[in-house]
Amino acid sequence: MAIIAIEAAAARREVGEVLGIQGFDCDAAPTPELIAELVRYGASALCPCTPSELVHAVSESLAPICPVEITQLREQFSTMVSELVDYGDLVLESSACDESGRKTRLIHLAPPAFVAIASARALILGVARDNPLPLPHSTWESIERRRHMRFLTLQESGTSAAALSRMGLVQIESETWYGAPSVGTEEQYIAGLKRALSSARAAPPDPRIHYLDPCTPTMHYSSRWKAVTPESQLAICRRPQRYGADVWALSQTQPKGMQKLLDLPVTAGVRTGADEAWLIQAAIDSLRGNPQQFSLFRGGPDTQILEIYLPIPSWVRRYLDCRGAPVKPTRGGLIAYEIGDSQVDGVRLELKRRMWMQEV
């Protein structure tokens, strides 16, 4: 077989056609959608493998035809691997031993699955062996890719949730996939945390700890962090540890200048300390009569822009990711999404129900 030399642009066009991605025949940097499909494609052939092996393989294969420096490519692919693990396309094994007995982490393919977002829309998850998109070719044109996510419009593709199940995809309930914990009202939630704090040991405050002061306005996140113990009895804080990032914790002021600390997370179903910290802060702000805020304003002819002024837990972000597209905040928000008019009422209700927020 003869080897034919082709231009980089032609090679990029071939890659895009194989992956079902349009627009990779120009000199622009690869889009997040292309990066995600390349990671899935590489994983479908290489897994199980370590994250570094996967990142190295896909970045090195793209580098010769990509106008981006290899170090930047590796960073983009590494970030995308984390995103695909977090959202359920790939599974990261916590620990395993290689042939020499050293502990390492391995990435595995998550089984093909889908989440019914609405009656006519499904989020496609998982990767099949040697097939990054585990669907018939006839449905590929109905796939909408948004960063690391793939949505299938059921009516346009001529399929249904039942048909996806018959194809072998496992249906995951939306509430299960979002992963929101059941904490009751903000009063019930804080009462449970106080009970957990009651068994903690009181100690003098650590001067290295920084606190998120509940007495400060909720519209300016960075200005809420203080280096002194806040007057409020309960406060989110970051405490240093010998190795690694600072630990998220809940502090409680005690008599005689003492305090108790509760490392997070403590609530069943919450995976990270940061997730629980944002939920606790929302509950504290609400109970103080100063609820966190969001705003909605006109974006396009049939869309609105949602801006949120404080960080949100991963389950709220997942919910918003399925109903809108992240955009750059323009009115002082920390997070912004462009959302279709048909989704706005549901989003508004979800933020008030899950995070006790107030619209301004």
Q: For 122-173, write each residue's pLDDT tens digit.
A: 999 999 888 777 787 778 778 889 999 999 988 766 788 888 999 889 999 9
Cis bond leading into 313, ω under 30°?
no
Residue 88 lies in a domain: yes
Share of residues in the chain with pLDDT > 90 (%): 61
**Same domain? 192 vs 271:** yes
- pLDDT recorded at residue 265: 96
327 and 350 fall within a common domain: yes
Q: Which two tokens stand for residue 94?
A: 């916590």
Domain end, chosen from 148, 178, 208, is at 178
Print the domain residue range for 314: 293-359
For residue 185, give every residue at least 6 positions away whose Cβ sits within 8 Å of its Cβ, in sequence order, or none.
Answer: none
List of E strands, the chain = 90-92, 96-97, 103-104, 107-109, 113-118, 121-125, 143-146, 149-153, 170-172, 210-212, 225-226, 234-239, 247-253, 259-263, 293-298, 303-308, 324-326, 335-340, 358-359
Which pLDDT score is estimated for 94? 72
Q: If DSSP codes are grouped into helix, strand and coil, which group holds residue 21?
A: coil
Residues 150 and 193 in one domain: no
Residues 86 and 115 in one domain: no
Instruction: Let me know whether 17 and 96 are in one domain.
Output: yes
In eight-state DSSP terms, residue 232 is S
On whether both 195 and 263 belong to a single domain, the answer is yes
Across the range 3-28, mean pLDDT stands at 72
Residue 104: what pLDDT? Answer: 81
Whether 120 is covered by a domain: the verdict is: yes
Residues 51 and 65 in one domain: yes
**pLDDT level of residue 201 (50, 70, 90 thresholds):** confident
Three-class secondary structure of residue 225 per DSSP: strand
Q: How confident is the model at residue 338 (pLDDT cuts 50, 70, 90)?
A: very high
Q: Are residues 201 and 255 in the same domain?
A: yes
Whether 356 and 288 have beta carbons less than 8 Å apart is answered as no
Same-domain status, 267 and 192: yes
Give the number of domains in the chain: 4
77 and 157 together in one domain: no
In a shared domain, residues 47 and 22: yes
239-262 pLDDT per residue, tens: 999 888 999 999 998 887 788 999
How does residue 88 score in pLDDT terms, banded at 50, 70 and 90?
Answer: very high
Domain's final residue, options 245, 268, 287: 287
Looking at the domain assignment, is residue 303 inside a domain? Answer: yes
Is 1 part of any domain?
no
Domain limit, last residue, from 144, 178, 212 = 178
Contact call for residues 90 and 81 (beta carbons, < 8 A): yes
Same domain flag for 191 and 246: yes
Residue 244 lies in a domain: yes
Position 3 in a domain: no
Q: What is the C-alpha separation between 131 and 138, in angstroms, rounded?
A: 15
Cβ–Cβ under 8 Å, residues 312 and 303: no
Look at residue 96 and tell me if it is in a domain: yes
Residue 77 included in any domain = yes
